[in-house]
Chains A and B, each alone.
Chain A
Amino acid sequence: EAQVTQNPRYLITVTGKKLTVTCSQNMNHEYMSWYRQDPGLGLRQIYYSMNVEVTDKGDVPEGYKVSRKEKRNFPLILESPSPNQTSLYFCASSMLASQYEQYFGPGTRLTVT
C-alpha cells in the first residue's frame, strides 16, 4: 500500500530535549516536505527536499533541521525544542513533476512543556 508514515504519532517532551520525528514514504517520490499546522493558521511549510541531499527552507524553518540521506526518509529534527513548537506536524511526499498532488502522513502531535 502506498503510504507516508510518521513516528511517533504523539510526543510530549520538555524544553531543550532534542527529538527527531521520522518520515518515510514507499512511493519512490523525489519531493518531500514538512508542515506544521496550528489553529487558525492553516499549514505552513517548514522545510522541503527535491531529492537526496537537496533540502531547502520553507516559510517557518527556525528551530528545525532536516536531512535527506535516502530517498525514502526525511526526518525532522528539533535540536532544542521550545513551547512555541507545540503543534501538529505533517510530512508529505510527491513526484517532482506534480508537487501539488502531495501524499500526507497521518500527523505527529507534539507538545513541548
Chain B
Amino acid sequence: AQSVTQLDSHVSVSEGTPVLLRCNYSSSYSPSLFWYVQHPNKGLQLLLKYTSAATLVKGINGFEAEFKKSETSFHLTKPSAHMSDAAEYFCVVTVPGNTPLVFGKGTRLSVIA
C-alpha cells in the first residue's frame, strides 16, 4: 500500500519569499507523485506530476517539485510567493495500474502582503 504524509498542515509566507511545502511518501512500488491545488470554493486542479521521468518537475504558476528516492520525499517549491498562491495543496501518490489516488491531508498556504 502507498501513503503520503504532508508534514505541515499550515504554512504562512510573506509575498515575494520562497515557498516550501513538504511531502514524504511510502510505496511498495515505484510511485507516481503529484501535487494538486485547491483554491477557495473551487475543485482541485493538477499542479504538477512525477511519473518516473526527470526527477525535477515543473508545474504551472512557477511551482516545482523534486523527487528524491533516497529521502522518499516530493517537496513542492516556488522561488517567490504571490498572493494568488494562497490555497490548499495536496500531495498525492499512486502506482502504475488501475490503482486509486491516495491523497495527503493537505497543507494550507497563506501569503501575507
Report A's interface with B, CB cutoff 8 A.
Answer: 4, 33, 35, 40-45, 48, 50, 58-59, 90, 92, 96, 99-102, 104-107
Complex partner residue of A100 from B42, B94, B106, CB under 8 angstroms: B94
CB nearest to B106 among chain A residues: A42
On whether A42 and B94 interact (CB within 8 A), knowing A101-B49, A105-B43, the answer reads: no
Which residues of A sit under 8 angstroms from B42, Cβ to Cβ? 106-107
5 A-B residue pairs with CB within 8 Å: A42-B106, A96-B98, A99-B94, A104-B45, A106-B41
Q: Which of B71-107 contact A (CB under 8 A)?
A: 90, 92, 94, 98, 100-101, 103-106
CB pair B43 A40 closer than 8 Å: no
Complex partner residue of B104 from A4, A42, A102, CB under 8 angstroms: A42
Q: Is B55 an interface residue (CB 8 A)?
A: no
Complex partner residue of B90 from A40, A42, A58, A96, CB under 8 angstroms: A42
CB pair B90 A43 closer than 8 Å: yes
CB pair A100 B92 closer than 8 Å: yes
CB nearest to B104 among chain A residues: A42
Which residues of B sit under 8 angstroms from A48, Cβ to Cβ? 100
A45, A48, A100, most chain B CB atoms within 10 A: A100
CB nearest to A43 among chain B residues: B103
Complex Cα–Cα for A4 and B49 (A): 21
Q: Is B7 an interface residue (CB 8 A)?
A: no
Nearest CB in chain A: distance from B29 CB, A: 14
Complex Cα–Cα for A102 and B94 (A): 13
Nearest CB in chain A: distance from B50 CB, A: 10
Complex partner residue of B34 from A96, A100, A107, CB under 8 angstroms: A100
